[in-house]
Chains A and B, each alone.
Chain A
Amino acid sequence: MYIDFESPDQLANKLAALSDPAAPPLWLVLLADRHGETLGEIAAHLERAGLQACGGVFPGLIDGVDVRHSGAIAIALPAGSRLAVADLAPGRVAWRSPPPDLVEGRPASSVVLVDCLGPNVAGLLEDLYDRYGHGLPQFGAGAGYHDLRTAPCLFAQGVAFAGAALIVLTPLPLTVRVRHGWRRVRGPFVASRTQGSKVLELNWESAGAFYRRQVEEENPALAGRPVFPDLNSTYPLGVGKEGSEDVIRDPMGIDESDQGIAFLSDMRENALMYLVHGDRHSLIAAAREAVAACGAPSGVEACLVSDCFSRALMLGEAFPEELAAVGEELAHFTGVRPQGVLALGEIATDGGQPIEFFNKTFVVALTHAGP
């Protein structure tokens, strides 16, 4: 539920009032990034109030058809949910305490929040994949600020932190679906040289020039326009994937020093990439399709969405239409409203594939009484 508050104290009081003393929940608190500066205070107040809570800040909050830039979306994860925090470093994922064993309590799903500007996000996801394997639906989002500043954007156990990730294993049955609505327009290209989250070469050429050329050839109107936010908003790149949608990667800019394209997540060398393109119709249709793909389960208790901030930027004034479409589609089988975040990267797996970090993608997760 959305909670508006003026002070950390007020938020703590409200959450305390909402808590069931008999079965205190683990509160997942998704905050608008305007509260980032008081994130530490909020974490401390919640801790002092005796609340179990974790969460992060995001460029925007989704509350039904509205996008909010203040307040919090609070989701009460049921008692028995277990939290773990990992610090991320290049080549290393360091858990602060042993992450919960999958077998313990038979968790039905997990929620993952990660500092999208932190290192080794790919390593974290591979660790989670190795650790929990397939069969576990996972839903999550990249936390951070709309201006991509580097600052603490996550909190748990009374403190705020950056460069880290948190995972909550919950007994909640979760249906996760992912759609983006982008289609291949050029390619394939080979990411012939990569370095972390930067692609230095595409098809053995300088990646930046190659990308710009491909976009400009596809849409001469964009000639000479900046990569961010003009080129990337309508012509991102996709990493080819057999049997499912390509994984969209959002070029954030071209490094003038090496002409490499910067992304928000690691890029696999020699991966096949495509120039993809979408419009308001394909993207909104994709969101609607994602909800529909959930299969109209019965007993839906909540609808969580992780929609990409850059996708909202791209849709602009049409973005509420996407949310409305999601609401309409939901209304076919449940009365719950979508609530969630505008994320800097979306995290999801439906349990049948490796967990993946997406850009410019819509992720919906329905919690319900049973499968």
Chain B
Amino acid sequence: MTDPRDITPELLSLYELSLTVGRSLEPREACREFLRALVTQRNLSAASLWWPDDDCSGLRLLDALPRQSVSGDRLPESHPLAEALPAFVSPLPEAILDFLAPGLRSGASAACTLDGQGLLLLHSASPESVAPRFLAQLRAVLAKLATAIRGSLAYVRLEESEARLRQRTRELDESRSLLEALIEGTTDSVFVKDPTGRYLLANEATCRFIGKPRDEILGSDDTALFAAETARTVMEHDRAILGRAVVTTLEESTVNGQGEAAVFLSTKGPLVDGDGNTLGLFGIAREITDRKLAEQELRKLTQALEQSPSSVIITDLDARIEYVNEAFCKITGYRRDEVLGLNPRILQSGKTPRETIDALWAALSANKPWCGEFVNRRKDGEEYVEYARLAPVRQGDGRTTHYLAVNEDISEKRRIADELDRYRNHLEELVNLRTRELQVASEAAEASNRAKGAFLANMSHEIRTPLNAINGMAHLIRRDGLTPRQNEKLDKLVAASDHLLEVINAILDLSRIESGKFTLEDTPVDVNDLMTSVADMVSGPLRAKGLALAMRNEVPPRNLQGDPTRLRQALLNYVSNAVKFTAAGHVTLCASPVDEDEGSVLIRFSVTDTGIGIPSEVMPRLFATFEQADNSTTRHYGGTGLGLAITLKLAELMGGDVGAESIQGSGSTFWFTARLRKSARAASRDSRQSSEETLRDLFPGRRILLVEDEPVNREIVSLMLREAGQKVDGATDGHEALTLAAVGAYDLILMDMQMPTMDGLEATQRIRALPGGEAIPIVAFTANAFDDDRERCFAAGMDDFLPKPVVPEALYATTLKWLDRN
């Protein structure tokens, strides 16, 4: 076995320990290798290594085995262990042991320095493990360990330094990349120039604006890149900024080499190195051309807004005023700073209707514009009326951010309007007054007219009734045979009667036409027959004056419809005048078509005479009512003066016109036109046999009831009918007629209208109610010749209408018509 004095085991132990030194550059790992070998080899319960802080303020733990053996990782400078550094200490004081190995009170402990710098603490259950001899042996190893620790710490510091350097480099690289990304990525122009103005740096935006590649820009100055004026201005700016050595922001208007103009907001300043030397000039320029234009536009709009005569208010969504224009201040009297932030309700007078305010907010809440009127109050308390247009202000994304009100002070307009209203109201009152007056006048006129109508009707009735007797009697007298002298006198009597009847009829016609109650018949018309009958009617006077009558009908034979009675009347008017005013010569009657369409023909009837003629100054008023060429002629030639007026009215009613040409002393031509409807019906030819003869031949002894209160008329008509072979019963009023009709079988009843006790209308109605009464023809026989009367008769149940005074042919024709129908 080994000799106890053999130091080989000790050497080998030291050898093992020394070989653990420097095996790692990491300080803790290097320490751990040493401690692991030491603890295991020496059977220690704990060991730890300590090293001064960088600032030598104390010792910090490098490593301990086990780690749990130390309660802290730093020994403060004041610690006894730290003070004991220069020498080995063994055994350790309890205070140190408490720190080193709390709970360990047995065994041995020791501390030794690492080359006078660090500290090794040892603890073992066995004192031999930390014997002084071993500690002495350990000294050289610990010196090597200290060097290794210094080396590893330096290595760590170097590593840390390199890591920091790498980190710094990385940060610089990142910073540089970031800067480059910023410079190249920004849309702003970024550039650097040397003190002489040559470009050292130009980013993409700079190149884009200058319009040249970067390699052409770098090294060039502005004179090579910009228009001359721009280059001169920009370089002056640059020199001034370098001279002042102050960062400056200014607007620069530029024109590049391609002639493109732009405005830039440029920030320029001197580029200075760490020693304060000026390296050049840096610049960041943002093109603001569009912004300048927008500013100009905005300025224009703002000025327009400011100078608008209308009051403009802009509020936020909570109705806080953000803007008012000058007009607002003028109108309201408030200063701008007084109202900003306030609600426009400060203007409210309390007189704006609640509904108006509600409607306003309902519209705005629905994002709709609104307009209406406010009664507002100025700052001085004066009320005024505003017409307001309010609208939500919507942004591009559709959000409503503000409300806009454009208000107009309409107080003056309102005052004028009110005044106009007052005038208008007054005018309306006047109009209403006048209207009422006119209404009264009109009603009076109508009443007067009605009175006139009633008078005319009564007059007509009252004249016709005796005329009926006169004519009838003359007719009957003539049948009895007369001497020539008596015959002549009877002719004059009949002529006077006819003239009177003519006057009455003319007056009645005119009255009917003017009252619009004149109705035309629509029956077949034979122009030839018409002209012939007129000629027949004036044949007597013609012969008496020795005048010749010529007729010329140019109307082609065809079926036409119209009112032959009125045509005859109109034509007879002209022909009678012609005969009347022609002393010698002839009268020519003509008819010719002047116009034709699908349904009608316009026929011109004219009468030409060789009479006295008409003065030209009279011609314009020839067709006026109550006019004659010379009123004195009325006395000389007679006549009502209504004939031409009636002809005019009739022609107009028949869709035609009238006219006259005349040469005084030579004669005249009067014409009228009338539109006749084309028809398939032909006009019936007049039977050459008279109605009286037909009655007598075909219907002898028929029973006719004549109801007439006037005894003379009843007698005359009875006689006339009996002359025609008929049996006639007379009744004096409606009652008697009803009684007779109830018991007698009459073939025809002629019924007067106006009668005492029971008039003809009621009698007719009651006869119709009798058994078989509905079949008896009842013909009105009345001096009530108006159309109204005719209608009333038909309404009461009568079948026909025969006006008084009786014209014998008409009486016979009507009687024949109804007997034949029965």
Task: Write the residues of chain A forming the contact surface with B, with a CB cutoff of 8 angstroms.
Answer: 102, 126, 129-135, 184-185, 187-188, 190, 239-244, 268-272, 352-354
Contacts and interface: CB of A to CB of B under 8 A. Distances in A.
B749 interface: no
Contact of B1 (A130, A184, A353): A184
Interface in B36-91: 36-37, 39-46, 65-69
Given A130-B66, A130-B68, A134-B66, A188 B9 contact: yes
Interface of B: 1-2, 8-9, 12-13, 15-16, 19-20, 36-37, 39-46, 65-69, 101, 103-104, 106-107, 124-126, 128-129, 134
Contacts of B1: 184-185
B195 to A, nearest CB: 63
A363 B565 CA distance: 167
A239 B9 CA distance: 12
Given A102-B68, A131-B68, A132-B68, A241 B16 contact: no
Given A130-B68, A132-B68, A243-B42, A268 B36 contact: yes
Given A190-B12, A352-B107, A243 B126 contact: yes
Contacts of A244: 43, 126
Contacts of A272: 9, 12-13, 16, 41
Given A129-B65, A133-B66, A134-B69, 14 more contacts: A130-B68, A131-B66, A190-B12, A190-B15, A240-B41, A241-B42, A242-B13, A242-B43, A242-B129, A242-B134, A243-B124, A243-B125, A271-B16, A354-B65
A129 B45 CA distance: 10
Nearest to A244: B43
Given A184-B1, A244-B126, A272-B16, A134 B46 contact: yes
A135 B104 contact: yes
Contacts of B39: 354
A242 B135 CA distance: 13
A188 B9 CA distance: 6
B68 A354 contact: no
A268 B104 contact: no
A354 B103 CA distance: 16
Contacts of A131: 66-68
Contacts of A242: 13, 41-43, 126, 128-129, 134
Contacts of B106: 352
Contact of B66 (A132, A184, A190, A241): A132
A132 B68 CA distance: 6
Given A240-B41, A243-B128, A134 B104 contact: yes
A133 B101 CA distance: 9
B124 A268 contact: no
B42 A352 contact: no
B66 A353 contact: no
Contacts of B67: 130-131, 133
Most buried by B among A188, A241, A244: A188
A126 B36 CA distance: 9
Nearest to A191: B16
B12 A241 contact: no
A111 B368 CA distance: 86
Contacts of A270: 15-16, 19-20, 37
A268 B20 CA distance: 10
A185 B1 CA distance: 6
Contacts of B103: 135
**CB-based closest 5 A-B pairs:** A133-B68, A243-B126, A352-B125, A133-B66, A134-B45
B101 A134 contact: yes
A135 B123 CA distance: 12
A188 B68 contact: no
Contacts of A268: 16, 36-37, 40
A248 to B, nearest CB: 14
A134 B103 CA distance: 9
B33 to A, nearest CB: 10
B73 to A, nearest CB: 14
Contacts of B45: 134, 352-354
Contacts of A352: 45, 106-107, 125
A240 B9 CA distance: 9
A355 B39 CA distance: 11
A102 B101 CA distance: 15
Contacts of B9: 188, 240, 272
Contacts of A354: 39-40, 43-45, 65-66
16 contacts: A131-B66, A131-B67, A188-B2, A188-B12, A242-B43, A242-B134, A243-B43, A243-B125, A243-B126, A243-B128, A268-B37, A269-B19, A272-B12, A352-B106, A353-B44, A354-B43
A300 to B, nearest CB: 23
A248 B182 CA distance: 71
Contacts of A129: 65-66
Contacts of B101: 134
Contacts of B15: 190, 270
Nearest to A354: B39
B43 to A, nearest CB: 4
A132 B103 CA distance: 13
B126 A188 contact: no
A135 B128 CA distance: 19
A353 B128 CA distance: 14
Contacts of A135: 103-104
Most buried by A among B9, B20, B107: B9
Nearest to B101: A134
A130 B32 CA distance: 11
A270 B17 CA distance: 8
Contacts of A133: 46, 66-69
Nearest to A352: B125
A301 B101 CA distance: 31
A187 B126 CA distance: 23
A26 B129 CA distance: 39
B41 A241 contact: yes
A126 B37 CA distance: 12
Contacts of B128: 242-243
Nearest to B1: A184
A270 B33 CA distance: 12
B71 to A, nearest CB: 11
A353 B125 contact: yes
Nearest to B70: A133
Nearest to A102: B68
Contacts of B41: 240-242, 271-272
A353 B480 CA distance: 193
A190 B12 CA distance: 7
Contacts of A134: 45-46, 66, 69, 101, 104
Residue from the set B9, B20, B45, B66 with the largest chain A CB neighbour count within 10 Å: B66
A96 B782 CA distance: 143
Given A243-B126, A272-B12, A352-B107, A130 B65 contact: yes
A138 to B, nearest CB: 12
